Amino acid sequence: MIFIDSGAFVSRFRRSDDGYAMSQVGWARLEQTGRRCYTNNLVIAESVDLIADYAGPSVATAFLRSLLESEIHVFRDTFEEDFEAADLMLKFSDQHIGFTDCVTMVQMKRNKIRTVFGFDRHFQLAGFTLWPGSKLKG
């Protein structure tokens, strides 16, 4: 099982992104292995907005439709998860971890997902493994 963060989604569309090459490797490996993938509605919203800013609304809309029709399972945050995420934001306040990442961490913990396809070092600081490599951001 692997959780896909916005960095993995966005870097597919931005050749200038630091994670572009690693992202291409990761997506190819996922296609080959058929590994079970997860994301959440907050990551999707963040990704769609970033892709729209970079590539325009038509590309962002095509990405969104493709994602929603894919095999990627989408978690939707609950009231309880939002409160747990707020606690995490306070716990990691010195690291400036945002709400979306905190909700993601809560959902990953609840669903026993230890690996993140992404490039955000905050996940490593919280005890998760970045995949497919260690090119870190943030």
**Which of these CATH numbers, 2.60.40.1180, 3.50.50.100, 3.40.50.1010, 1.10.10.10, describes 2-77+114-131?**
3.40.50.1010
Q: How confident is the model at residue 17 (pLDDT cuts 50, 70, 90)?
A: low
Q: What strands lie across the sheet with 37-40, from one edge to the other?
A: 73-75, 37-40, 2-4, 115-117, 129-131
The radius of gyration of the chain's CA atoms, rounded to the nearest angstrom, is 14
The answer to whether the pTM exceeds 0.95 is no
Q: Is the pLDDT of residue 136 over 80?
A: no
Give mean pLDDT, residues 14-26.
79
What's the pLDDT at 121? 87
Instruction: Answer with the residue of higher pLDDT: 12 or 64.
Output: 64
Q: What is the sign of the dihedral through the CA atoms of 55, 57, 59 and 60?
A: positive
pLDDT tens per residue, range 111-130: 999 999 998 888 998 899 99
Q: Is the pLDDT of residue 134 over 90?
A: no
